[in-house]
Amino acid sequence: MDISTQTADAPPPIPPQPSAAEQKRDARGATRVGDRVFLGLSRGSGILLLVVMAAIAVFLTYRAALAINRDHGNFLTTFEWNTNLIPPSFGIAVLAFGTIVSSIIAMAIAVPIAVAIALFITHYAPRRLAGPVAFVIDLLAAVPSIVYGLWGALILVPHMTGLFGWLNDYFGWTGIFSWDGGAPRSMLTVAILLAIMILPIITNVSREVFRQVPQMHEEAALALGATRWEVVRMAVLPFGRSGVISASMLGLGRALGETMAVATVLSPDFDIHASLLNPGGGTFAQNIASKFGEATSDGRDALIASGLVLFVITLLVNGAARIIIQRRAEYSGANA
């Protein structure tokens, strides 16, 4: 089969070279073998990637199916995760809620700030400051998430009590911001930590997009008598919008799948709470990390099932980002 596909879409055969008699002497057979081996290797790597992707989908689905068959609760709606009971009972409702809520709040905090910092670097900062700031934020994107997690648990959490007290005093009546005064290891803290984590990524991508705004569009706005902010609004933001959206999606993907930063900060339970300030709830990745140690092999299957759901969600988010990027490519192509 390997050989047949090779001949099917091999690169166009080398055209007959009547004058290349000397080259033919140069071990023509070996050349062919070399080309074939090299093509085989590189194409094989590509195919290996596809096989790995397929295997991820197949094996996760297989183990997940085993787990869901054993589940005596409803996999989608049960509010508990008791995989070691006989019969086991578990569901992902709480995890899906926690994952989505924490990621969305993180986005709501991080995206405006990231866009502002990207603008700061490209359009506002004095040039001597812009370079180093961009460099440092670049490096911060490489800080491992476990370090963010450690910092979040030991430094950020104690600093949240003041803010939580204030939110509870003035907005506690909404229910969302009510607080019993426990340790602030809650969804809001998680969301803030996630926001801090994804900020460098979103900033870096947005910065690149803003930097690519053609000078001539900005000059057009300036020549009409626009202030700096009006230039940004007329020329920079519209041009960079799809880029910022795809940067945000990238950040969202990170936030959805983040494990360690959530696992270190959150004090989880298996319920959906109205309050973002009281501890409780959980996310897919955090639940996998914290339940894994005590899970039997059946329990691990259940965790795999929840991981499959996370996988599908991130695929959807990344797919959306891809479509947006593609539109942007078409749009800028038409504009060239």
Please give the residues from 20 up to 39 whose contact with other proteins meets the rule CB under 8 A: 20, 22-23, 26, 31, 34-35, 37-39
Considering only 7, 50, 294, 333, the residue that binds other proteins (CB under 8 A) is 50
The interface region with other proteins, picked from 71-79, 86-94, 118-126, 174-182 by CB under 8 A, is: 118-126
Structural element, H or E, at residue 134 = helix 127-140
For residue 81, the cross-strand partners are 90
Considering only 15, 18, 225, 333, the residue that binds other proteins (CB under 8 A) is 225
Q: Residues near 205 by Cβ (< 8 Å), separated by ≥ 6? A: 243, 244, 246, 247, 250
Considering only 212, 227, 274, 329, the residue that binds other proteins (CB under 8 A) is 227
Q: Residues near 146 by Cβ (< 8 Å), separated by ≥ 6? A: 260, 261, 264
Q: Is 60 in the site for other proteins (CB under 8 A)?
A: yes
Q: Is 282 in the site for other proteins (CB under 8 A)?
A: no
Considering only 1, 3, 9, 86, the residue that binds other proteins (CB under 8 A) is 9
Structure tokens at 67: 């787990």
Residue 191's Cβ-side half-sphere holds a number of Cα atoms within 13 Å equal to 22
Q: Is 219 in the site for other proteins (CB under 8 A)?
A: yes
> What is the spatial distance between Cα 120 and Cα 304, in angstroms, rounded to a whole number?
43
Find tokens 């589940």 and name the residue. 71
Residue 119 near residue 208 (C-beta atoms within 8 A): no
| Residue span 168-187 as binding mask against other proteins, x where in contact by CB under 8 A, dash where not | --------------------
- Closest C-alpha among 45, 17, 43 to residue 31: 17
Q: Is 62 in the site for other proteins (CB under 8 A)?
A: yes
Q: Is 3 in the site for other proteins (CB under 8 A)?
A: no
Q: Is 166 in the site for other proteins (CB under 8 A)?
A: yes
Q: Is 44 in the site for other proteins (CB under 8 A)?
A: yes
Burial (CB count <10 Å: 0-12, 13-18, 19+), residue 290: middle
Q: How far is the CB of 234 from other proteins (least distance, A)?
A: 6
Q: How far is the CB of 210 from other proteins (least distance, A)?
A: 12
Q: Is 113 in the site for other proteins (CB under 8 A)?
A: yes
Q: How far is the CB of 327 from other proteins (least distance, A)?
A: 13
Q: Is 131 in the site for other proteins (CB under 8 A)?
A: no
> What is the spatial distance between Cα 280 and Cα 272, in angstroms, rounded to a whole number?
8
Considering only 106, 310, 324, 328, the residue that binds other proteins (CB under 8 A) is 310
Q: Is 95 in the site for other proteins (CB under 8 A)?
A: no
Considering only 142, 180, 294, 333, the residue that binds other proteins (CB under 8 A) is 142
> What is the spatial distance between Cα 225 and Cα 18, in angstroms, rounded to a whole number?
67
Considering only 107, 285, 302, 324, the residue that binds other proteins (CB under 8 A) is 285
Structure tokens at 80: 């508990």
